[in-house]
């Protein structure tokens, strides 16, 4: 029997695209919109499109902050996507004064836009894994290109958790990993076969 996969419903974004990918991979995703929803799942995906502040406000309104932190602290399988990656950190320049989940120490910062850099960073870009043997990268192309849409990115205090690096004006941490926790700035649900491979690997973890 396939694992039960929860998808955090924070009130917007790319939920349906993620659910469609899960269905394509023969998994029925379940929206997680209340603390009670966590008792019915084995894996958790946190997709995200939108603003850091709005996302965190919705998590708090639905009383999801502590259940998500409990999940992360128990080292249960987790995949954060884009904003679902950023909110793992303490704060963001996008919405000063708003507290993220703070599971990882560090801040989410904005691209500086120097040297004619277009913001947001939008489109395909190369993702360079720090450890090609890590489970998420198994069966992905080398070089690996994934799809991005973002103006902000996390800067982890602990560089040892950085799992891949991408260049856009300067190198940035395009993903992090710790135990069963994996999160990236890219959108696997928009990255064709390479993105499908990432989700498939997570479902087999």
At residue 114 the predicted structure's pLDDT band, cuts being 50, 70 and 90, is confident
| Confidence (pTM) | 0.96
What's the whole-number mean pLDDT along residues 84-99? 97
Sheet of 181-184, strands arranged across: 29-32, 5-8, 43-46, 78-81, 181-184, 170-178, 162-168, 121-129, 144-150
**Is residue 178's pLDDT more than 60?**
yes
Q: Where is average pLDDT lowest: 1-15, 102-116, 183-197? A: 1-15
Full DSSP string of 150-179:
ESEEEEES-GGGEEEEEEESEEEEEEEEET
pLDDT value at position 11?
74
Quote the number of domains for the chain. 1
pLDDT tens track for 3-15: 799 999 987 667 8
Whole-number percent of the chain with pLDDT over 90: 90
pLDDT value at position 13?
62
Return the CATH number at 21: 3.40.50.880
pLDDT value at position 2?
60
Element (H, E) at 18: helix 15-24
Higher per-residue confidence, 48 vs 158: 158
pLDDT tens track for 34-74: 999 999 899 999 998 889 999 999 999 999 999 999 999 99
Distance of alpha carbon 100 from alpha carbon 187, whole angstroms: 20
Mind telling me the catalytic residues? Answer: 82, 187, 189
Domain that residue 136 falls in: 5-204
């Amino acid at each position: 029997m396939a694992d039960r996969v929860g998808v955090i419903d924070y009130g917007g974004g790319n939920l349906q695209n993620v659910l469609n990918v899960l269905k394509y991979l023969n998994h029925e995703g379940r929206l997680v919109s209340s603390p009670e929803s966590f008792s019915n799942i084995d894996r958790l995906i946190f997709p995200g499109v939108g603003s850091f502040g709005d996302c965190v406000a919705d998590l708090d309104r639905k009383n999801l902050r502590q259940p998500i932190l409990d999940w992360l602290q128990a080292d249960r399988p987790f995949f954060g996507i884009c904003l679902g990656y950023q909110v793992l950190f303490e704060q963001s320049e996008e919405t000063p004064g708003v507290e993220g989940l703070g599971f990882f120490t560090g801040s989410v910062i904005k691209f500086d836009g120097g040297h004619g850099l277009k913001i947001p960073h939008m489109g395909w870009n190369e993702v360079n894994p720090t450890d090609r043997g890590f489970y998420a990268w198994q069966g992905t192309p080398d070089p690996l290109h994934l799809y991005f849409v973002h103006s902000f990115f996390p800067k982890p205090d602990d560089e040892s958790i950085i799992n891949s690096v991408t260049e856009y004006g300067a190198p940035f941490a395009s993903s992090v990993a710790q135990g069963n926790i994996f999160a990236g700035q890219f959108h696997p649900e928009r990255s064709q076969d390479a993105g499908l491979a990432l989700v498939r690997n997570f479902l087999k973890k």
